[in-house]
Amino acid sequence: MPKFNMNWIYIFVIISLVLIFFSSSSHGFGNSSVSIDKDYTSFINYVNKGYASKVEINKDESTLKMYVKPEHQREVFGQGNLGSDPYVKVDIGSTDNLETFLNTAVQQKKISGFSYKNNDSSLLTNILINVLPWVLIILVWFWLMRGMSGGGRGGGIFSVGKSKAKLYEKSQAVGITFKDVAGQEGAKQEVQEIVDFLKNPKKYTELGGKIPKGALLIGPPGTGKTLLAKAVAGEAGVPFFSMSGSDFVEMFVGVGASRVRDVFRQAKEKAPCIIFIDEIDAVGRARSKNPAMGGNDERENTLNALLTEMDGFGTNSGVIVLAATNRADMLDKALMRAGRFDRQIHVDLPDLAERKAIFMVHLRPLKYDKSLDVDFLARQTPGFSGADIANVCNEAALIAARHNKKEVTSQDFLDAVDRIVGGLEKKTKVMTAEEKRSIAIHEAGHATVSWFCKHANPLVKVTIVPRGQALGAAWYLPEERVITTKEEMLDEMCSLLGGRAAEDLFVGEISTGAMNDLERATKSAYGMIAYAGMSDKLPNICYYNNQDYSFQKPYSESTAQVMDSEVLKMINGQYDRAKQILSEHKEGHNRLAQLLFEKEVIYTKDVEEILGKRPFKSRSEEILEENEKLDKAKAADAPKLEDQSDAVKKAQAEYEASADAAKETPADTTDVSKETPTNTTDAAKATPVDNADVPSQENDDNNKD
């Protein structure tokens, strides 16, 4: 049966209204007669004077129309030649006296006659007037109920319990595959295994294995959790339901649980399939143990429904739940257990090799300088997530376009990193020469102290150009350490306090410019003492408390006083150490501050010319040297041709003969042979860099073990 079209009802209503409008007028639009309203006394006078030609009485409206003779139009209307049948309209009361008066006027031949004319009332008009209001009420009610039941485009009040999950069928291409996900090899392997199970279940079931019921992606923001889910949707080959944890939250009671049941019902109908819930902490937060705090009963009911659907009395065979969160510590323990989320996949911030791979992915659409050192960019962005690296590449392209460049250069990428980390450069900020010199002394203090601290990060550049909220900055090449020793943390603290120490020694007064340095140093000191157990009076004790909403500290007031005294002792010790380093290298610091005052930006080579070569090797340099030694050892252990068998020597001779023959071929072949060594040389150049990165990661893994 074809679906009824509501447009016919709308057309019927419009036509009915038009008919009523036309039928309500006795003369329609063709009435062009001139009329004027007068009182009953004026009407009597006009009739007695003989101005009236005829009279029409309308008892329904209690009015009459007196048509004026043409020769008397000027006396009544003030002008003549008013067209056909101009009339005077008069409101009347009782018609008895009026009829007597008009009969007398007819006898006296003052009017030709009078008649009665009531409103025309057709059957159709009566039906429309009586029935149409009820029809309109029924139509409005039908339209409201249809919208409330979800028949409208946006759903309605009766569809509020329906799931808002977006379904991706097999034929719908998401456009993202695992090739678009760089780094995170461990997490990618675990997710790929789920996809492979759906595509080839026999491979696992033959060994007695079962498909995981759920996988939880855990990691900081921007690390690619949702991107991994999109890659699963692009390659799974099964229906994929995507929704957010906030989609379960609604102002109506019971809606969240209803939506949970609805999405699992749809998933069971299309099994095998995958349900992805992004930001599941919005609905999966741990339930309160305090009965007095019952304000989140609706959220807890939604969580209970989710727990039951994932692993309750019924079965959900073929339905895999994939979820993502960056607040795993807030999730309910019942949700995290095996049987609901069998796998917890940690998607951490990328390391050096993974950042390089992510850079290579985001560099594909860019027109960049081929001499760009991607390894240096990867080392320059420690702690950056995949989203941050994508932002760096985009900012670099925007900066290059702003300067009308044909391609993105290395300097554009460095400027983009500075822009993201430090903020927008403010070259127009007005400062006096004294303020500028004070900032130069402060930043030179950072550079000098860090130069002579063994475990401080290698210096890249120092600037006094305001950027963001900072009036100046010393930029370092941070070293990614798997573990951090107390000496390394103290060296970093000493470098932070170098700016304040330089102000104290060489300016003679301290300023608020060191506020951020003091904040970082204080946090580091409290972390060392309260969490890492690096204090003399509180050794080997960790007071870490993972309960965010706890109203009690995990230590007493007397212990807090000891912590404060130990923090003060540690920071003052490193402050005195920074002043001692600056006093020993006073001349070099002054030259460095003067050069920074003049140039505004100085680099490592400028510092090296003034302070000499840094007496310590950085961790990166040590790793590169060890990798070079390993490469040389591998090359020395490689088999030589003279030690090989006769068959190998013969094959090598044939290869060399074919290579000589290729050189004597025509021009096109010669060009190809010329290109081949070039590519081989480039590959050989790239090999040490890759080899340098791989052992670095291996050393990191060994340290983790």
Hey, which residues are catalytic here?
A: 443
- Tokens 């003279």 identify what position? 642
- Tokens 């004597």 identify what position? 664
**Beta-sheet pairing, 319-325 with 343-346:** unpaired
CA 264 from chain center: how many Å? Answer: 27
- Tokens 């204090």 identify what position? 535
- Tokens 């937060």 identify what position? 285
Contact 66, 52 (CB under 8 A): yes
Helical H segments across 484-618, by residue range: 486-496, 498-502, 515-526, 557-584, 586-599, 604-611
Measured CA distances, 270 to 13, 169, 170, 200, 340 (Å): 44, 10, 11, 18, 20
CA 272 from chain center: how many Å? Answer: 30
Helical H segments across 403-485, by residue range: 410-422, 433-451
Q: Under DSSP, is residue 65 helix (H, G, I), strand (E, B) or coil? A: strand
Contact 417, 381 (CB under 8 A): yes
Contact 367, 406 (CB under 8 A): yes
CA distance 604 to 476: 10
Dihedral angle over CA of 45, 49, 50, 53, nearest 10: -30
Phi, psi of 275, deg, nearest 5: -110, 125
Instruction: State the DSSP string of 291-339.
Output: TT--TTHHHHHHHHHHHHHHHSSS--TTEEEEEEES-GGGB-HHHHSTT
CA distance 391 to 397: 10
Contact 76, 51 (CB under 8 A): yes
- Tokens 């990867």 identify what position? 378
Q: Under DSSP, is residue 60 helix (H, G, I), strand (E, B) or coil? A: coil
Contact 393, 366 (CB under 8 A): yes
